[in-house]
Amino acid sequence: MRGAIPINLASEPFRRDRPVILAGWAGGAALLGLFLFLSSMAWIQRSEAADTREALGAAQRRLNAMNAELAKYDTELRQPANAQSIEHSLFYNSLLLRKGISWTAIFNDLEIVLPHNVRLISVRPQVNANNQIQLDMVVGAQATEPVIDMVMRLEGSPKFGATTVSSWLPPTQSEPLYRYRVSANYAPAL
């Protein structure tokens, strides 16, 4: 017998479609699950956004009420009859601010940043127009390098800010030290 010829008598040839159909159904189910998840997240965010808008509106209403009350008090304070009490209030507030400067805290903070070979000759705290404390100091040293080190330490310290050296004097027969006038912003820990 010669070689057997395979003959398919079916009207349609046999195809292996089952894995493709199962993969299609699995992909569709995954996409449906993803759609439901994203829809629920969008719904949750929409409700949270509505709550946020409501809270923002309430905060804005409170702010408007406070601004109206502030404007009312401001117009009352600006009346000519109240001018003297405003002056007294500003004077007392400035005195209280100046009395709030602690000499002990200033010297403790300066002790941390002053090098051992720099001598503090004088220090004068001042409150500027922005209610910030500024220290005007006169320091002395036998050379310029320790003062430069002190300025770098002052600027690197979290309690001191911008530092400027406004003038300096060379040593004399009566004063053997270089004298520098240094200004530094000071922010004490409250």
Q: Indicate whether 1 pLDDT > 60.
A: no
The string of pLDDT tens digits covering residues 163-182 is: 999 999 998 888 889 999 99
| 170, 135 Cβ separation under 8 angstroms | no
pLDDT band at 117; cut points 50, 70, 90? very high
Number of separate domains in the chain: 2
Note whether residue 6 is domain-resident: no
For the cut 80, the answer to whether the pLDDT of residue 129 exceeds it is no
Distance CA 80, CA 147 (A): 52
CA distance 97 to 24: 76
CATH code for the domain in which residue 168 is found = 3.30.70.2830
Instruction: Answer yes or no: is 94 within a domain.
Output: no
Task: Convert the pLDDT of each residue in 133-146 to its tens digit.
Answer: 889 999 999 999 99
Domain boundary pick from 78, 113, 146: 78
Would you say residue 9 lies in a domain? no
Q: Are 113 and 151 in a shared domain?
A: yes
Is residue 157 domain-resident?
Answer: yes
Let me know whether 174 and 129 are in one domain.
Answer: yes
What is the domain extent for residue 53? 20-78
The whole-model pTM stands at 0.50
Q: How far apart are CA 166 and CA 171, in angstroms?
A: 17
